[in-house]
Structure formats: structure tokens, C-alpha cells
């Protein structure tokens, strides 16, 4: 599809730079997920240029610079190419059910640093605008690393998810602190213990198979979970603090489901 001009979806948008890699959403899917990335590039200008080009084979709905400036590149009604091979709660076409925001940060390979206050304020405001208009539930405001844990680590452990949740964007619970004497389930832990933990991660949405084995997919998903929700120790081990944090998050899922059921 050829890049084209369009009207911004949000009054918060400062500029429009249309992307070439755009298409209709597939399977009648509508955006019910907000997916956050970092650019992993030296500057937002470089990221915007790359995301606009057909030969990049990628695109995203929004880019937010370090000073909070917001550029829209794909209309929210259309499918951008930002998630790649990914999965969440059984859905594998994440591009068709999500709106993607790229947040300028050089990333882990080029001097990863905390996200500035002005930038985070813009993420909060745009995120709140998007989730309100599309009625996106808190549990479906996710990191790229959540839906593609074997490939991606963005936006990373320095992203302030708690701040977003304070302003109604995403979910957050107080993480349990890991203990040095609890290194997590060993590789030869009883199958039933590993399966029970895998069921919990899968119940939250991670693409984990119930194998009873601490396989690469399980370890990657646990690492992604820790990077998002329990950053004190990111090692991919299923320790008691990780499980306790996950259980509190699962309770928010149950609470949300109960409220929805009561409203119908």
C-alpha cells in the first residue's frame, strides 16, 4: 500500500509522517490491545524515517520522541507491521488486534537509559486517549517483549509501567521481592510443580505450553514477565516472588471478568 496523508486519530498528535507498510486489519479484528515498544535507534527522526519506508518491512501507529512530541504514521483503523511473530492469549495476529507505540530510546544495544519525564507524560496521555476510545482493558496494555518473549526485550526494565497504571493505562501490582535463598524451580523440579507454574503464565496470556519442562519458551516468558512486572531480578527462574506477583496479577484478571459479567 502506498503511503498517504490522513487525519490524525488523536488531538495529541504533533505531526503525521505516513508509513508505506499499511494494510487492512485481518479477520474482522478490531484494536483491543495497546502494544508498547522502544525504537532501538539513535533518534526518533531516524526511527520515523525507517518506519515510513517500504523497504523496512515494518511500521507503527505512533512514535513518541524524548521531548514528548508525537508523530502518527498509521491510522488506528489500519494494520501496522510492528509486532512481528507474536502471540498473546491464543491470538497470533497481534498486528490485527493492536495499536502500536514506538517510544524513542536507543535500547539495550546502544546505551539503554530511563525514559524522560516529558516522554513518559506523552505516553500516558496518548495511551489514556487510545484505551479510552477503544475501550482497551488494562490487562491488554502490553510490552513487545510480552507477546514476543523469545525475540524481543523492549521497552525493557527501565520503562515506568507503574506510572502508566496510576493514570489508568495498563495494570500494575506491587511486586514481591526476590530472596537470595530462593533461586527458583530447578530444572529437575517435579513435573507437577512446573506444570502448575506454566498454567499460571498461560492463564495470564503468555505463550507457554504445559510441558512440565523448563523449556526455552517457558524461560523466555518468565523473563519477559519479570522485565515487565518484577524487575528486581530478571533471570527467567520461577521463584516464589515471581509466582506471588503473578498471582496478584491473575486476581486483577478475575476481578475484571467479574465486573464485566455483572454489567451484562
Residues serving a catalytic function are 102
Please count the other Cβ atoms lying within 10 Å of the Cβ belonging to residue 227. Answer: 23
Q: Count of H helices and E strands in the chain? A: 8, 8
End-to-end CA distance of the chain: 40
> Residue 250: how many CB atoms within 10 A of its CB?
16
Q: In whole angstroms, what is the distance from residue 6 CA to residue 75 CA?
A: 7
| Residue 220: strand, helix, or coil | helix
Angle ∠(115,116,117) on CA atoms, nearest 5: 120
Q: Is beta strand 62-64 parallel, antiparallel or unpaired with respect to 15-16?
A: unpaired
Residue 156 is placed in which grid cell?
525493557
Largest Cα–Cα separation, the chain: 58
Whole-number CA gyration radius for the chain: 18
Q: Which residue has the cell 506444570?
A: 195
Question: Is residue 236 a contact partner of residue 149, using CB atoms and an 8 Å limit?
Answer: no
Q: How far apart are CA 11 and CA 102, in angstroms?
A: 18
Amino acid at each position: 500500500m502506498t503511503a498517504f496523508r490522513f487525519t490524525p486519530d488523536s488531538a495529541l498528535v504533533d505531526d503525521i509522517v505516513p508509513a508505506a507498510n499499511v494494510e487492512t486489519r485481518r479477520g474482522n479484528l478490531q484494536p483491543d490491545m495497546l502494544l508498547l515498544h522502544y525504537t532501538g535507534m539513535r533518534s526518533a527522526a531516524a526511527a520515523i524515517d525507517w518506519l515510513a519506508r517500504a523497504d523496512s518491512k515494518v511500521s507503527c501507529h505512533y512514535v513518541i520522541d524524548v521531548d514528548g512530541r508525537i508523530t502518527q504514521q498509521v491510522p488506528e483503523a489500519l494494520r501496522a507491521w510492528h509486532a512481528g511473530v507474536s502471540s498473546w492469549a491464543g491470538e497470533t495476529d497481534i498486528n490485527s488486534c493492536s495499536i502500536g507505540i514506538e517510544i524513542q530510546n536507543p535500547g539495550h544495544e546502544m546505551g539503554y537509559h530511563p525514559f524522560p519525564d516529558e516522554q513518559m507524560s506523552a505516553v500516558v496521555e496518548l495511551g489514556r486517549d487510545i484505551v479510552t476510545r477503544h475501550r482497551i482493558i488494562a490487562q491488554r496494555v502490553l510490552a513487545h517483549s510480552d507477546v514476543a518473549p523469545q525475540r524481543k526485550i523492549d521497552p525493557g526494565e527501565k520503562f515506568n509501567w507503574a506510572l502508566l497504571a496510576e493514570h489508568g493505562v495498563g495494570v500494575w501490582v506491587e511486586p514481591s521481592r526476590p530472596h537470595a535463598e530462593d533461586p527458583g524451580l530447578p530444572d529437575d523440579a517435579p513435573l507437577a510443580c512446573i506444570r502448575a507454574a506454566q498454567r499460571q503464565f498461560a492463564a495470564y496470556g503468555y505463550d507457554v505450553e504445559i510441558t512440565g519442562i523448563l523449556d526455552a519458551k517457558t524461560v523466555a516468558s518468565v523473563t519477559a514477565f519479570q522485565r515487565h512486572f518484577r524487575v528486581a531480578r530478571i533471570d527467567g527462574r520461577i521463584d516464589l516472588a515471581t509466582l506471588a506477583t503473578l498471582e496478584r496479577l491473575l486476581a486483577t484478571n478475575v476481578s475484571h471478568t467479574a465486573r464485566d459479567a455483572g454489567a451484562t
